[in-house]
Structure formats: C-alpha cells, structure tokens
A and B are shown apart, each in its own frame.
Chain A
Amino acid sequence: MNATPGPLPTRRLILQGAACVALIGLGNLPFGSESAHAAANDKYPEDAFKQKSQADAIKSLYGRPAEPSDKIKLDAPEIAENGGVVPISVTTTLDKVTSISFLVAENPNALAASYRIPEGTIPTVANRLKMAKTTNVLVLVEADGKLFSATKEVKVTVGGCGG
C-alpha cells in the first residue's frame, strides 16, 4: 500500500491528524459562558448525560471546547464485532489531571462515562462501552484547568444499543 521510500508516519501522528480534523468543527461552536466546573463537582452530571450531541454534552459537562492533544493515548479497537462491549482505555502524560470523560459521537446520548481523578490517582482508565454504530470515540482530559481531547474511529459490526 504505502510506496513512499521515506520513513513511515507513526501511528500517533496519523491519530493526531484525525483528531485535529474532527475537532476543528467543535472548536468553532459557540459555547456558552457557563463555568467549567461540572465535572469537578462531586455531583452526578445528570444534565450532561441527557444531551444528544457530543458538543452539547461537552458544553454541559465542562462549558468549554477541548483542544486536541498528542499527550493522550486513546486505545480502542479498529473494529468492534460486538458494539455492546467495546473495550476502551486511555492514558495520558498530561499533568494535574482532574477528570477523564468518554463520549461516543453517534450514540443516542453522546456522553458514556466521566471519571473524577483526585490527586494521587494515576490518569489512566480502562472501561467497556456500548456503541450503537461505527463512529468516533472521543476522550476528554481535564488537566490543570484546561480541556484536551483525543479521538478514534471504531467500526462496529453489530450495534450495542438494541433495536
């Protein structure tokens, strides 16, 4: 496939490129001016889980857009045969991480899980999510008061949201 004689682009670079493309649109959305504290609160973010779209869920949860970061490693399968159980994990080298959230763009409700990371806890999470169909998985990492993201497309052969 790849006929270029030079060094092959690394997988990370490719992912990073994909993340940028996917987030250019998000970055331009007119986010409200609510303060970004929802996820840092110790209350269940009920409203964020009810939002249909990824952008609305991010807005409800953090109140600000995220910028893509190559310091986040999102590990998800290229192809998930069973959308009901998709293993997804994330690690990051970002400092002062306070929360990590997972969103599945085309699920009926985009936000799947949000984790609060107190001081002393390593910003690494593995979990299993349901995916309705082939779409992007987005991970948000809140670090030092800023919001970063990484994304990866997962192809789903059998959806996990019933029907």
Chain B
Amino acid sequence: MASTIRVRATNNGDITEVQALIQHPMDSGFVKDAKGELIPAHFIQELKFEYNGKDVFVADWGPAVSKDPYVKFSFKGAKKGDELRISWVDNKGASDTTTAKIS
C-alpha cells in the first residue's frame, strides 16, 4: 500500500522547510452517518518528525485537526540529501512511517 504520508522537505541554506500531508479521516466523534449513528472518533494522536535520530517536531493532535491533515514547520541543522523520518499513530493504534529525502 502506498504511504499515507506525503512530505516535501526543502533545504535553503541552514533552514529546512517541511510540509506534510497525511491521508486520515480524522473523525471527530461528533458526526453522524447516513443512518443517524455517530461515527466513532478516529484521529491521529501523535505525528513525529525525526532527523538524525532526534525529534525535530512533534505534533499532539485532537479530533479538531482537519481531515487529511496538513502541517508545515522549519528546522535548522540539516543538509540536502539527508533523510527525515516521519511517523504517526492514531487513537485506534494504527500507524504509518515513511522517510523523505531533503532536497
């Protein structure tokens, strides 16, 4: 299966800008389906970006983060060609991991 995570990491001198888009329903637990039954909450709780074995950015999310979440941040100290490791885990214990090359 293709990864749920799409990442673009671009290095510009000392600063690396990271944009990530993740496929996830992010169900809030407040929405009803066609039968009028509540769709249980299903959302990513933790999204982690690691560079060189160290966390560079960690997101703790609740169900109020939009469907197919997007996040952007920047960090210092990385080089072009290096790898960034991205992983998430949701409230049902599902997870996904990928790596992205910094360009």
Report which A residues bind B (CB closer than 8 A): 42, 44-45, 49, 84-86, 89, 104, 107-109, 111-118, 120-122, 124-131, 160-163
Contacts and interface: CB of A to CB of B under 8 A. Distances in A.
B65 A113 contact: yes
A104 B64 contact: yes
Contacts, number: 109
B62 A42 contact: no
Q: How big is chain B's contact interface, by range? A: 20 to 34
Given A113-B59, A116-B55, A118-B55, A124 B74 contact: yes
Contact of B65 (A42, A44, A117, A130): A130
Given A84-B66, A118-B55, A120-B77, A113 B72 contact: no
B64 to A, nearest CB: 4
A129 B64 contact: yes
B12 to A, nearest CB: 12
| Chain B residues touching A, majority SS | strand
Interface stretch (B3-11, B25-33, B92-100): B25-33
Given A44-B45, A162-B32, A113 B60 contact: yes
